[in-house]
Amino acid sequence: MPPIPVFVSFTRVKGTIFAAAIFAGLGLMPAAAQSNAPPPLYDPVFLNIGFVCRWEGQCIADQKHAMKRSLKFVRKEHPPTWRVHLCNRNASRKRQRVDWIGFDHCIRNEALRPPPPVVHRRRARASG
């Protein structure tokens, strides 16, 4: 066993190990030490799915699977634009949040028909 260098103090090493144990216990270790995944704050898709699922693991996995499946379907089949817009509106939850499972079911639904065209009528002006 090699000799311990003179400049290494046992109390200094003991204090460093103690501090590392406290930081690890409190969850204050650097992100690189905990995992290689990017923080959800910088991943808008994961952040969206997390909010929709209230951070439940199985729900997040189901949403990710439905997202990949529906995006693959859209790339391969090229559904009409009206269908994509309709399914985005149907699957949206509170503005920007999308329920990917609902979108996947909607985009594959062959029974959907285009909405009737919107007729804009001008109101008659009151004469006076």
Is there a domain that residue 71 lies in? Answer: yes
What is this structure's pTM? Answer: 0.57
Q: What is the pLDDT of residue 107?
A: 94
The rounded mean pLDDT for the chain is 75
Buried b (16+ CB within 10 A) or exposed e, 40-57: eeeeeebebbbebbeeee
Residue 84: domain span? 38-107
Is there a domain that residue 76 lies in? Answer: yes
Is there a domain that residue 96 lies in? Answer: yes
Q: What is the pLDDT of residue 14?
A: 56
Is there a domain that residue 23 lies in? Answer: no
Is there a domain that residue 14 lies in? Answer: no
Is there a domain that residue 114 lies in? Answer: no
Q: What is the pLDDT of residue 31?
A: 46
Alpha carbons 37 and 31: distance in angstroms, whole number: 9
For the chain, what's the residue count? 128
* The token pair that represents 34 in the structure block: 């905990």
Is there a domain that residue 42 lies in? Answer: yes
Alpha carbons 96 and 17: distance in angstroms, whole number: 46
**CB contact at 8 A, 67 and 45:** yes
Q: 46-95 pLDDT, tens per residue?
A: 777 777 788 888 988 998 999 999 999 999 999 999 999 999 888 886 66
Q: Look at residues 20, 40, 39 and name the one whose alpha carbon lies nearest to residue 31.
A: 39
> What is the count of structural domains for the chain?
1
